[in-house]
Structure 1
Amino acid sequence: MLRMETMQNSFQYPIGTPGQKWTDKEVQQWRESTSVKRLYSEDVLPKIDALRDTLEVVQYGALSYDEQRFPLFALKTKTWDPKKPTILVTGGVHGYETSGVHGALQFAKENIHSYEDIFNIVVAPCVSPWGYETINRWNPNAVDPNRSFYKGSPAEESANVMAFVESLDTEVWAHVDLHETTDTDESEFRPALAARDGLDYIEDNVPDGFYLVGNTEKPAEAFQKSIIGYVEKVTHIAPADSKGKIIGSDVVQHGVINYPLKKLSLCTGMTDCDYSTTTEVYPDSPKVTDKECNDAQVAAVVGALEYLKQVL
């Protein structure tokens, strides 16, 4: 999830001293408080392996925390042609955002071939497998990969996928990054962030519904509108709050806010692509199922590609 700050809360995170940034000691305490809750090797890697007959599977690195346990994979269309525009889809930059991972894999299995004659498509379905296993926003060093997409990144997850995208030796025309906004953003991850940085926790509300984060510098209004149109056939779109905002940012059109991607070092800012969007599915809504969350992620990618077909 991406958000701006709104109002202060007195809640204090159990690790660290209020008003003081974490040292290595607190980072270690935090890391020791995490635990494995699901397995990348069981949930994700078999789904990637199952696609080897129809897509090119590329290992673009491995996380040094455990290279055998955390290999990093991307999927590429086999009909790669330098004359075609290239589309990038990323998931699991925040490993705990489940439908980002499984929505990317579902798209690769069920939908990618409908577009491979028109586009080169590359999918990195699980950028942060340690975060996936521990259901965590950060990596083991208490670094947020989705604030680390810049040269000399402190996050292996970000650095590896950036190097891979650069190695493709092609301009990325569009990038769809699949995320979720969850109740744990307010109950765990944002309080932890405030504690880590020695700041007060600023409380906010979790919007009930799907929304998109576009690029302040290249907002691509019609592109975002197309995606929302496809997604709202699958799930509900988050309404603006009483101030016309979602997570503290102005709603620029139905279900869409914009962020300065490069300034914030977000995943969708890793290239200079013309079209980018970050999806935000809300899996904790009583109105949705896990399947609908995955389907919403797929609908977002499809909505993006359908629009791009029209503007080629």
Structure 2
Amino acid sequence: MTTVTRAAPTLLTSPGARLVGKRLLMAVPIVIGVSIVTFWVLNLIPGSAAQQLLGPEATPAQIQALEARLGLDRPAPVRYLAWLGGAVTGDLGTSLVSGQPVAGLLGERLAVSGELVMLAFVISLGLALPVALLAAHRPGRLFDRVSMLVSITGLSVANYVLALLLVLVFAVELALFPAIGFVPLTESVGGNLQGMALPAAAIAFPLFCFYTRFLRGDLVDQLQGEDYIVTARAKGIGPWQVLLRHAFRNSAFGLITVVGLNLGTLIGATVIIEQIFALPGIGQLMLQAINTRDFVVVQACVVLFAVVAVVANLLADLLYAVLDPRIRYGSR
């Protein structure tokens, strides 16, 4: 009798690795498409980078000479293909204004924007999860009503308006936090957190309100209308166990989806908030580049935002697979 042994799956042939590979292959045309659309839109914007650099007194001959030196006189498809060829190797071009490599400029500012986004996520999710669970545990009670009132109020206020209110109250009136400025973590942890507190709160509060309202509503729907909840209660499982082990596990799928889709809104918020609080992040770099017609920097910033969005959705897919292995093994 012959025994057939099946080889253990290696890392490259595992369902999880195949899922990651498939999503990465799908991401490539998305990022290229974003870069093409961005390049096309930037070329439609009136104004010349050479004119912006030389000033209003520049002669047409001077502008033409500078455009030739910067390569702006070449056809748009040629310039895009040259940029794409460099981007594949990690060369995102050279800033038209400062003459510095764009990759270096992004690297210097990525830590600031990354910290701001992470703090906003930690604050918003760290508050939304317990508040939504407590509200869903006893729907219609005082805590639930107050949390929903706060959520609706927070969703009605724009990020930049909230940022100005926070500065007025906590920086001007109470003098608890600085209004503008950034202190690197390497210089002072306390100073860094103080400087990032208000901008992170301005981004996190609307997210907290949205996540709380969404998760609370989904949990209440699960608790009131699902058969598996009725079965769990019939088995004598306590209300908190039903909420945490059963309802929340299923509601987590929807929350992960919402968090992934909200990343675009979060990136847009950082562009405005960094400008208000004078944070040297990628959002501020992008606005400065738009004002100076430094389209090489703008192109790189937009593509970076697209890559971050793609990675966030990839992480969401992986979290789906962690919560439900059937998704991972069904992706063959």
The TM tier, using the shorter chain, reads under 0.3
Tell me which protein shows more helix as a share of its residues: 2
TM-score by length of 1: 0.25
TM-score by length of 2: 0.24
| Higher radius of gyration, 1 or 2 | 2
Tell me which protein shows more strand as a share of its residues: 1
